[in-house]
A = this chain, B = another copy of it.
Amino acid sequence: MTDVHPAWLPPEAFQAVGSRRVLVRADGPLAETVREEVARAGAQYGATNSGGLTDEGPADLVLTLSESEGADGYAISRRDGVTTVAGGDPAGLLYGFFHVVRLGEGAFEGDREIEHHRPAMRRRMLDHWDNIDVHPVMGQVERGYSGGSIFWEDGAPRPGLSRVRAYGRLLAATGINAVAINNVNVHATEARLLTDRLGEVAAIADELRPYGIRVHLSVNFASPMALGGLPTADPLDEDVRAWWAATTEHVYATIPDFGGYVVKADSEGQPGPFAYARTHADGANMLAEALAPHGGVVHWRAFVYNHRQDWRDRSTDRARAAYDHFAPLDGRFMDNAILQVKHGPMDFQTREPVSPVILAMRRTRLAVELQVTQEYTGQQRHVCYLAPMWSEILAFENVAGAGDLVAVSNVGADRFWTGHPLAQANLYAFGRLAWDPALDPATVLDEWMDMTFIRPGEPLRRALHAVMDGSWRTYERYTAPLGVGFMVRPGHHYGPDVDGYEYTPWGTYHFADRDGVGVDRTRATGTGFTGQYPQPWSDVYESLERCPDELLLFFHHVPYDHVLHSGSTVIQHIYDTHFAGAEEVAEMRAQWAKVGDLVAPDVHARVTELLDEQLRCAEEWRDQVNTYFFRKSGVPDERGRRIF
């Protein structure tokens, strides 16, 4: 473990707590975890001033329970030299403790009016796309950019699961309370985690439980056939239902606080209820029914579309698919069936409108799914701080009202957890925004750097803000323009290939020709996707005049000389943003170069190396996109810059 980066919980982050007398007035496993945290900090920082855990007063910090704070909630206050954290339950106590850690010395200064903290989301969850086996194409972690799985190695659980507990601790400090441990594409080996390999799930649950994190499992819809030997997986078949009930019973007998199932059904080759002419409500409810007696939930993914589309068929629109499938089922899902919807209608692009499914399903419990792993946003080789994107999404309409916020994790066996050391901030920010979607991304970044870099001085703080604050918009500038999406290399999705998906079955097209570019999704002349939105968005997106620039090509096919709200033509906007994006990366690199003395050498070296790659790749994006559109449009750059 000594070789693993401490991320936002280095020992120094506990100095303020460790040098105070701390009284924990609660019992049970989570209170015990808090005691251990305090004892560890005290052992390091308490010697000279009698800090550390105390069994009786007087104390500088008192952690106690108070039913009035509610599940996971806590109140923090300070009076007469005593800081008090009142947890609504033991988990709240734990979150309150980490709040004190975040505050550092600030937690012990002056008086503090009572503040009540409650999570906006009931479930703050990370989905791992980890496999036990190494997939020949995808590797061990599907869309993972941080090495192998932290759970499995060489086909078996990692010895001692040494990093899993540390991972749980990091997550608890951000407020995460649920982890699905395996890939939603459930292959044969991993399917068995539900049955004869359930012990491995239990072992992982044991490591995460002390940090208030429940374990969920991705399951294969066809498990009754593959594992149970039944002739069908029909969700209305009595034997199938009995199999799921018995199997689930056994899961809970082994892991009493098991969270539930995650299911990708009828999607990209996964089996599902369509094979039996059943609805996705039938499928989800079957599992919900098996889980209900035990308090579990099923996360049923709405990512269902035709991935064998004919590119010649202009009438099919992948963006429409989830709504078309699920909106008619609103109100038909059981209470413990949670429809898990990707934030956008396509697939975790750098810029998408919010999925209309999220706005439509008023009588269905929802989980909004984000992607911390940077599949389409630079694959943890590019700095791309995603909190500003998530913040925009969560601020849109009722998105933040979903009960669950879920994201695909970005960690792996890499020594920095996330490949790119600065990508740790995305994991941190996800947890914090799931707790409080109203948090300002720059403030979250300050929190993160205060702990990670131990309250850095202004030069480092400024550099980190300069590198990270605008990095998502920078990434957007040098990649696919104006919300049109994709243009990535097929398969691995790294680097540019403007036509890479243009003539494929994946439903991801930009329709660029010599006159214009973009996807006409209007009701008037296009696929009608805009009609899936409630007002005012239905009309806003339909209107060429009112549609936001950044989503223009998602909703409209326009000529290259179409003038944006910005005053620029589309073609000039493409040129300008691509030159600007690459220049911004060069500036990020220059900023980072200046702080070499202020950052641990290993972190600085890794980030420097990756910024070199980011600049190379940004220039490649710039040149390919600009050349592609210049060759198509024939319109020269107004500013005469070099296009190939």
Question: Quick one: given A496-B503, A503-B496, are A514 and B632 in contact (CB under 8 Å)?
Answer: yes
Asked if A513 and B312 make an inter-chain contact with CB atoms under 8 angstroms apart, the answer reads: no
Chain A contact residues: over half helix, strand or loop, or mixed? loop
- What residues of B have a CB within 8 angstroms of the CB of A404 in the complex? none
Q: Once the chains are docked, how many angstroms separate the CA of A623 from the CA of B310? A: 11
A: contact size bracket = 20 to 34
Asked if A515 and B624 make an inter-chain contact with CB atoms under 8 angstroms apart, the answer reads: no
Question: Given A311-B644, A499-B628, A503-B620, 20 other A-B contacts at CB below 8 A?
Answer: A136-B136, A312-B623, A312-B627, A312-B644, A314-B644, A497-B503, A498-B503, A499-B499, A503-B624, A503-B627, A503-B628, A512-B631, A513-B630, A513-B632, A514-B514, A514-B631, A514-B632, A514-B633, A515-B634, A632-B632
Report how many copies the assembly holds.
2
Q: Once the chains are docked, how many angstroms separate the CA of A515 from the CA of B515? A: 13
Q: Once the chains are docked, how many angstroms separate the CA of A311 from the CA of B627? A: 11
Q: Once the chains are docked, how many angstroms separate the CA of A514 from the CA of B633? A: 7
Q: Once the chains are docked, how many angstroms separate the CA of A226 from the CA of B52? A: 60
Asked if A513 and B644 make an inter-chain contact with CB atoms under 8 angstroms apart, the answer reads: no
- What residues of B have a CB within 8 angstroms of the CB of A633 in the complex? 514
- What residues of B have a CB within 8 angstroms of the CB of A496 in the complex? 503
Q: Once the chains are docked, how many angstroms separate the CA of A499 from the CA of B498? A: 9
Sample (16) of A-B pairs whose CB atoms are under 8 Å apart: A311-B644, A312-B627, A314-B644, A496-B503, A497-B499, A498-B503, A499-B628, A503-B627, A503-B628, A512-B631, A513-B630, A513-B634, A514-B631, A514-B632, A514-B633, A514-B634
Interface positions of A (Cβ within 8 A of B): 136, 311-312, 314, 496-499, 503, 512-515, 620, 623-624, 627-628, 630-634, 644
Asked if A631 and B503 make an inter-chain contact with CB atoms under 8 angstroms apart, the answer reads: no
Q: Once the chains are docked, how many angstroms separate the CA of A311 from the CA of B624? A: 9
- What residues of B have a CB within 8 angstroms of the CB of A620 in the complex? 503
The 4 closest A-B pairs by CB, nearest first: A513-B631, A499-B499, A514-B514, A312-B644
Residue of B nearest to A498 (CB): B499
Residue of B nearest to A634 (CB): B514
Q: Once the chains are docked, how many angstroms separate the CA of A498 from the CA of B504? A: 12
Closest beta carbon of chain B to A500's beta carbon, Å = 8
- What residues of B have a CB within 8 angstroms of the CB of A498 in the complex? 499, 503
Residue of B nearest to A630 (CB): B513
- What residues of B have a CB within 8 angstroms of the CB of A136 in the complex? 136
Residue of B nearest to A620 (CB): B503
Residue of B nearest to A619 (CB): B312
Closest beta carbon of chain B to A106's beta carbon, Å = 52
- What residues of B have a CB within 8 angstroms of the CB of A623 in the complex? 312
Q: Once the chains are docked, how many angstroms separate the CA of A624 from the CA of B498? A: 15
